Amino acid sequence: MNGFALYLAFLIPPLVLGFVIQGWLRKTVAQQMQVSVFTGLTGAQVARQILDQNGLTDVPIERAQGGPLSDHYDPRKRSVHLSAPVYDGAAVASTAIAAHEVGHALQHAKEYSFFRVRSAMWPAVSIASQAWLFLLLIGAFMGAFGLVQLAIVLFAVVVLFQLVTLPVEFDASKRALVQIRELGLVSEGERQGAKKVLTAAAMTYVAAALAALSQLAYYAMIFLGNRS
């Protein structure tokens, strides 16, 4: 198998899986956005209620600047950011997504171990994610094996970050489902719909981690394997 075919063998399966899961997520969110939640609460109101019930009254809820699925929690500002459909929507999907982002705020407040590790890694990862490919190309072009090794180490840090992200995301979803059930924010049927949304969202991180692992394995085999 030549180098290009080998690259495709490592790249295409996780890429296809990622596209499939992204499609699943968008379809699931679209479906559950059409299901009104019985409380009539918007995502912003759900987030506020969960935060307040957990003593996080000082955590603000803001509109995210991006489009759909740009929802996130900013640990630097300790703020929850919700996209317009989630912020304003009173649907099962908006409830689930808002509760998930608040789940990250709960992790932060309770010093959840994987959340702390992920936050501590972020400064190094932000540099590594921008530098590794440049160093790899320069090292391969110049025959500088030391640069290639450094590039692969930096990319390994990026991959490790994605792996650490998995328990963070799954735990945030678990916390979200507990909160919306205990606070009576969804009926049992709506909770099942919320679980579908959160499961599909979590699987996008799994797909991304698998793609990164596959890419790391390819570069390690090509550059480090040949060297040895």
- Write out the catalytic residue numbers: 101
Nearest CA among 147, 156, 146, 144 for reference residue 213: 156
Q: What angle do CA 117, 120, 126 make, to 5 degrees?
A: 120
Using CB atoms within 10 A of its CB, is residue 111 exposed (0-12), middle (13-18) or buried (19+)? exposed
For the record, the structure tokens of 89 come out as 């929507």
User: Nearest 5°: phi and psi at 82?
Assistant: -120, 135
> Strand 72-74 to strand 79-82: parallel, antiparallel, or no bridges (unpaired)?
antiparallel
